[in-house]
Every structure is written in C-alpha cells, then in structure tokens.
Copies of this chain bind each other. A is one copy, B any other.
Amino acid sequence: MKKTTLLALLLIGSSALYAQKTDEQVLKEIYKSALTNSTCYSWLDHLSNSIGSRLSGSANAEKAVLYTKGEMEKIGFDKVYLQEVMVPKWVRGEKETAYILDNKTKTTVPICALGGSIATASNGLTAEVIEVHSLEELKTLGTEKIKGKIVFFNRPMDNEQIESFHAYSGAVDQRYAGAKEASNFGAVGTIVRSMNLRLDDFPHTGAQSYGDIPKAQYIPTAAISTNGAELLSKTLKNNPKLQFHFKQSCKQYDDVLSYNVVGEITGMEHPENIMVVGGHLDSWDLADGSHDDGAGVVQSMEVMNIFKNLGYKPKNTMRVVLFMNEENGLRGGNKYEELAQKNKENHIFALESDSGGFSPRGFSLECDAVNFKKIASFTTLFEPYLIHSFVEGHSGSDIGPLTSKKIVKAGLKPDSQRYFDYHHAANDKFDAVDKRELELGAATMASLIYLVDQNGIVE
C-alpha cells in the first residue's frame, strides 16, 4: 500500500477501514466484544446494588446521574453533558398496610400505593368493597352502588396473549385511570389487581393519574398482589359486606431539578445527523429497577463501549441518552425533544431499550414502509444471533416525543415472558438479570445501530 493511500485512509478515519469488512464480520466482532469484554453487567451491579432504587426527584436518582455521567466520561465520548429537567417528586413514606375484615377475621394482604396517589387519613381508610372488571362497569353500577365504597379493579392480565406486553396494555387502564373514574362515582378509594401474569405476593406499583378532576375529589389508590386480589375476590363472594382497610402516607412534593445524561460522539461523515440510543435512568422506588430500566441504561452505554473497543468511528453523530422520569411524567423525553427542536437538530434514528434485560428476540419499529423493508432486510445478518423478530410496533416511551424530518424509531424486543414477574415490584433486582442475556441485548442494539449508521435511512 502506498504511503499516500495509507495516509488518506487514516485521515478518513475508521469508518473507511470498516468499509473493508463485511457486515457479517463486524457483527461477529460486536457480539464477541459484548460477550467477552463488556462493562454493562458491572455498571448494572453498581446502579442496582450500590445506588438502588432511583425514583425521580430522589437522592438516589441524582447519584445515578452523577455515576453514569462519570462512567460515560471514562468511555471516551467527545462530550458528556446534562440536560436540566424539572421532575415530579412523589414519596411513598411508611410502608403501606392493608387487611380484609371478614366479620371479625382480619387477613393482612400486601399492597403498595400507586405512584402519584394521595395518602389515606393517618388512621387509614376502611370501607366496603365493590369488585369491578373494567372502567366501563363503573357506569353500569352508577353512583348508587359505588358511593362510599372502595372500588376493587380485578380484571387480570390476559394469559392467552403470547406477548406479555399485549396482556399489560389490555389491563393497565384500571391502574392508570381507575381512581379518577371511580372518584367520579363517589368511591372513597381504589385497589387494583397488580399488573402481573403470575400469582404471587408482590404488589406492583406504577403511574396513575387523577386527570382533570378537582383536588378535593382525589382518592387514595393502591395495588394489591395477585394472590391478595384472588383472596379478596373469593372472600367477597362469601361476604359482600366485608370491609377493606388500607393505610398509606405517600405525598406529592413540588417539582425538583433533575437531569437527562447525554454522551455524544461526533459523526465522521454526517455530524449533522443524530442517532440516539437510550433507556431511562429513573426507576420505581420498591426495588433496584434492574430490569426497568437499569438494563436499558447500561446496554445503551455498552453500545458505545463496544464501538470504542472495536475502534469503530461512526459516520453519524451518536448520542447515548439516559432519560429521567419515564415512570411518572416522561419529563426527560419531552425535554429532550424540546431541546432538539430548539437546536434545530436532525435525528435520523432512535433506539430505546426499556423492556427488560432478557434474551433479545428482535426489534419493534416505528417508521414508514420503505425504511421498515430496509431494516427488515438485515434479518439474515441477525440469524446467527437468534434475532428473528422485526415487527411494526411501539418503540419506546422516552423517544416517543421525538420528531424529525424523517426518523426511524426502534425498540429492543427481549423475550417478554418474565417481564411482568418483576415490573415495578420489589423483586426487580440485580439477581433477576442474567449477564449473558444483558450482554446479548447490548450486542443486538450495537449491531442495528452499526447497520443503520453504515447504510443510512431512506430520507
């Protein structure tokens, strides 16, 4: 090779060198790097075991901001910075208590306040219970039958669904809007069956909204474990006059300042085109949030770690974005889009990992038919890695607000069967994440980003 040619190549940078490798070769290197030389699992260990739960506005959430910023600085991004964002601050307070009072028999059941709920009175709330299976059923029953009672939403997630997220979508309206709707009919509180396909003793928290009802009409709302829901339903059948008692002391504070964490590598050929990969840094407060969404955070960071290990310098500008407040406000995702608009940025691609750190199966894609076809054409490249599923569908909540002239949005699709065993519950802990499954997810994400970076999208 002539000296001048070598020099020219060095000047063009490594994407030209990478052009000499086949996509098959690069994907092989990506998976090898993830499985033998990755940092994501130890990042997750720190986030989960040294920091812990990271609810928006909490001290831990701020620790996570500083920690991930510091780690991203070590990877060697061109720049790492924070985006200021005001977030809600809701605090659970003392551990909740609840029991069923069936004549004189008290049976304790596991509950947890839903995010954003108000507290009960300090001595708790005790009332009769009316069981319903949908928001619509409230209208049929009417104020007469609901007033003064605790409404118990008990429609289970549908076990027939193959994708557990479909089962979740089909049931979560009870959690999100149950309190608001029941309040309109005079209910004094609501209890919702946990969003969990399994029968167990974990109550699962999650966002709820009082919508536009007046503050005076806010009623306390909590989730009950699936076993607890079964018991309550069974006991109600024998004694429709039983009483339910629960006590929670949660509180909504004023919004506080927090941050999205952003790491950026400037593109070698099209620095004006931005590709985003991210997850959300906040979690619920009951556990580490290792699957939701510690996994997505560390996988997104790992994508850049892999590129660095491989010496790959992308054509387009790459951004790792660790969004704040996905769980109860989506303020981080909205702020990111607001700033992108303000700075007239051109996003061509965004990938989110927020479906757990399980074995990757494929991607769900939000884009036009031409780009879908283009991305689906990568299928054969992914087959050796057992990635088969390229489907149209929701990509991710944090990248949801993102608009651009032309953008392809994707969500990593891991195996979904066990996700709702852990989702928003006290068992979403580090030990529930398998190292290889986490790493394979990161490799799968890096592979798609590499292929899109090399091949572009159809504008």
Contacts and interface: CB of A to CB of B under 8 A. Distances in A.
Given A198-B435, A386-B361, A388-B388, A160 B415 contact: no
A299 to B, nearest CB: 15
Interface residues of A, number: 27
A380 interface: no
A421 B436 CA distance: 10
A36 B161 CA distance: 10
B389 A417 contact: no
Interface in A41-88: none
Interface in A373-393: 384-386, 388-389
B36 A159 contact: yes
A440 B36 CA distance: 31
A154 interface: no
Interface string A17-53: 0000000000000011001100000000000000000
Contacts of A11: none
A418 interface: yes
A123 to B, nearest CB: 38
A437 B419 CA distance: 12
Nearest to A163: B386
B437 A417 contact: yes
B359 A415 contact: yes
A216 interface: no
Given A359-B417, A417-B359, A440-B417, A386 B162 contact: yes
A386 B384 contact: no
Contacts of A385: 162
This chain's copy number in the assembly = 2
Nearest to A198: B435
Contacts of A421: 434
Interface in A152-172: 159-160, 162-164
Interface string A407-428: 0000000010110010000000
A71 B160 CA distance: 25
A160 B162 CA distance: 30
Given A388-B388, A415-B359, A159 B434 contact: no
A16 interface: no
Nearest to A361: B386
Contacts of A160: 31-32, 35-36
A236 interface: no
Contacts of A31: 160, 162
A32 B434 CA distance: 29
Interface of A: 31-32, 35-36, 159-160, 162-164, 197-198, 359, 361, 384-386, 388-389, 415, 417-418, 421, 434-437, 440
Pairs A-B, 8 closest by C-beta atoms: A388-B388, A417-B436, A359-B415, A35-B159, A417-B437, A418-B434, A359-B417, A32-B160
5 contacts: A36-B159, A159-B436, A163-B386, A415-B415, A418-B436
Given A35-B159, A35-B160, A418-B434, 17 more contacts: A31-B162, A159-B436, A162-B385, A162-B386, A162-B440, A163-B386, A164-B436, A198-B436, A359-B417, A361-B386, A386-B389, A388-B389, A417-B436, A417-B437, A417-B440, A418-B436, A421-B434
